[in-house]
Amino acid sequence: MQSTNLLLEEPIRMASILEPSKPTFFPAMTKIVGTLGSKSRPVEIISGCLKAGMSVARFDFSWGDIDYHQETLENLKMAVKSTKKLCAVMLDTVGPELQVVNKSEKSILLQENAYVTLTPDQEKEATSELLPINFTGLSKAVKRGDTIFIGQYLFTGSETTSVWLEVSELKGEDVVCMIKNSTTLAGSLFTLHVSQIRIDLPTLTDKDKEVISTWGVRNNIDFLSLSYTRHAEDVRHAREYLSKLGDLSQTQIFAKIENVEGLAHFDEILREADGVILSRGNLGIDLPPEKVFLFQKSAVYKCNMAGKPAVVTRVVDSMTDNLRPTRAEATDVANAVLDGSDAILLGAETLRGLYPVETISIVGKICAEAEKVFNQDLYFKKTVKYVGEPMTHLESIASSAVRAAIKVKASVIICFTSSGRAARLIAKYRPTMPVISVVIPRLKTNQLKWSFTGAFEARQSLIVRGLFPMLADPRHPAESTNATNESVLKVALDHGKASGVIKSHDRVVICQKVGDASVVKIIELED
């Protein structure tokens, strides 16, 4: 499994580039989040997505009702059972999203240099001259000369399906705009984005709360993607809400940064959130194009140093309708990996795209190739320097395990954990080999019944780069006698051998607790 890692700083032989990629049990260390929707909800398609490398399924409540998404989730459960591949569930909130209301769902033709009025009167029908929207305060938020963007939900940036407007006049609650490019708006849902303007709506809306307290609770969601996170307070408010909903107190909150306001408060948001989603679609409108890559590199670096997952969106938009990505998109995916992203999130590409399975497969292959030239040595040194001294006990153990694994060219790191924290810390140092996180379930009681923890922790590692979970038998505690640890280790090694990650004579680094001490040991496998 140990790859011969090239470095981009070193000359790469053309022959090595022309060699076909070798398939492996883990398609890539970088994880793939797929949005399930109209084109990707049948069981056989979801099974294909899981086999191709999807490890987190995203359910987007900007469209579709609770019953629709429940049906999709039941299909996901069947696909997980048939493929025997673990998959986490992410609920994506609507948040303060501005939408054009097109009840008739007829196509709307907009001509360059003509005028169109945006009105909060949602009873009116959408036409070429009038577009009803779901927000009454737009006329108070904008001024003459401001730019407004309207596109199909999860727009792909193609100017034939989206339109730029310039505010020319304010008439009471209506906003009159000049159309900057000709387009046809097709479909039922269009989003509206006003560049660098604060929209005075709550981040967690009443509709979001209703979905979380019903669908979210029923399905024990692993991740909450908090759309339009603008302040640390948004994350605190969402966490407080989840804490009142039983098991959802364990749900991880990923702050979705979508505008300049979220960027301005990025550091404090990162401190509160469990991870960050860089929503490059909306950010690409809010920021000048030449600044987008700077934001990505800076944000991903900060997430890496904090040891929190960074998820990048909108990478292969053209694959919504095409079987191959553009050259720029393929390079973009690779650069996201080289920047240090934990996961790639696919939106329109799998939600309504024609080739969901192929898209996941191609993105996975690009990630795997980029990982081969990732400069782990430089990254490791940067991370150790950033953490500083004295290190915490756990941080010291994690970094030592990674350093040892690289020095002895181990094929895998096996980490015993009950909370998942130790395994995530090891993954933070980006080892070049997979980290198998053996999650040991813990028994807990609420005075009425006994239950095991562990499933949440295992699924939540499915969004962390290089981390591959395995649920252990609950009869084996995480801190125990040597004998029980050896039996769990045998199960983990057998799992590694069966999946082709570990072979005879390979070296394996093991990180575990023995009594109160944390131990890193190196073993060499016999025949």
Same domain (yes/no): 397, 495: yes
| pLDDT above 90 as % of the chain | 56
In whole angstroms, give the CA distance from residue 29 to residue 110. 45
Q: Is the pTM of the predicted complex or chain greater than 0.85?
A: yes
Whether 420 and 458 have beta carbons less than 8 Å apart is answered as yes
Question: For residue 478, what pLDDT band results from cuts at 50, 70 and 90?
Answer: very low
Last residue of a domain, one of 159, 194, 229: 194
| pLDDT above 70 as % of the chain | 88
Closest CA to 436 of 456, 408, 410: 410
Of 105-114, 481-490, 516-525, the poorest mean pLDDT is in: 481-490
Average pLDDT over residues 404-409: 92
273 against 200, higher pLDDT: 273
Same domain (yes/no): 82, 109: no
Element (H, E) at 51: helix 43-52
In whole angstroms, give the CA distance from residue 372 to residue 24. 13
Same domain (yes/no): 46, 85: yes
Q: Is residue 5 part of a domain?
A: no
Same domain (yes/no): 141, 216: no
Question: For residue 279, what pLDDT band results from cuts at 50, 70 and 90?
Answer: very high
SS3 460: helix
Q: Is residue 206 part of a domain?
A: yes
What's the confidence (pLDDT) of residue 482?
Answer: 52
Tell me, what CATH number does 147's domain have? 2.40.33.10
Same domain (yes/no): 83, 104: no
Same domain (yes/no): 214, 149: no
In whole angstroms, give the CA distance from residue 261 to residue 256. 12
Q: Is residue 6 part of a domain?
A: no
CA dist 269 → 86, 348, 354, 502 (Å): 29, 26, 36, 39
Last residue of a domain, one of 164, 194, 224: 194
Same domain (yes/no): 244, 368: yes
Q: Is residue 12 part of a domain?
A: no
Give the pLDDT confidence of 225-245 residue by residue, as tens digits: 999 999 999 999 999 999 999
446 against 50, higher pLDDT: 50
Question: For residue 525, what pLDDT band results from cuts at 50, 70 and 90?
Answer: confident
Domain interval for residue 343: 22-96+202-372
Last residue of a domain, one of 194, 225, 243: 194
Same domain (yes/no): 307, 410: no
Of 193-197, 211-215, 452-456, 505-509, the poorest mean pLDDT is in: 452-456
Element (H, E) at 426: helix 421-428
Of 28-32, 72-76, 90-94, 119-123, the poorest mean pLDDT is in: 119-123
CA dist 102 → 68, 105, 126, 396 (Å): 20, 5, 5, 56
Q: What is the 3-state secondary structure (H, E, C) of 72-136?
A: HHHHHHHHHHHHCCCCEEEEECCCCCEEEECCCCCCEEECCCCEEEEECCCCCCCCCCEEEECCC
Tell me, what CATH number does 367's domain have? 3.20.20.60
Same domain (yes/no): 184, 262: no
Same domain (yes/no): 173, 239: no
* 365 alpha carbon, distance to own chain's centre: 17
Written as one string, the DSSP assignment of 257-275 is E-SHHHHHTHHHHHHHSSE
Q: Is residue 2 part of a domain?
A: no
Tell me, what CATH number does 500's domain have? 3.40.1380.20
The one-letter amino acid code at 338 reads L
Q: Is residue 16 part of a domain?
A: no
Same domain (yes/no): 320, 397: no
In whole angstroms, give the CA distance from residue 429 to residue 54. 23
Average pLDDT over residues 125-145: 90
Question: For residue 191, what pLDDT band results from cuts at 50, 70 and 90?
Answer: confident
Give the pLDDT confidence of 207-225 residue by residue, as tens digits: 999 999 999 999 999 999 9
In whole angstroms, give the CA distance from residue 361 to residue 293. 25
- Give 165: exposed, middle or buried? Use CB within 10 Å, 0-12, 13-18, 19+: buried
Same domain (yes/no): 478, 449: yes
Number of domains observed in the structure of the chain: 3
Question: For residue 99, what pLDDT band results from cuts at 50, 70 and 90?
Answer: confident
Strand pairing category for 162-171 and 174-179: antiparallel
Q: Is residue 129 part of a domain?
A: yes
What's the confidence (pLDDT) of residue 506?
Answer: 87
Whether 148 and 207 have beta carbons less than 8 Å apart is answered as no
Q: 149-162 burial string, b = 16+ CB within 10 Å, else e?
A: bbbbbbbbeeeebb
Q: Is residue 10 part of a domain?
A: no
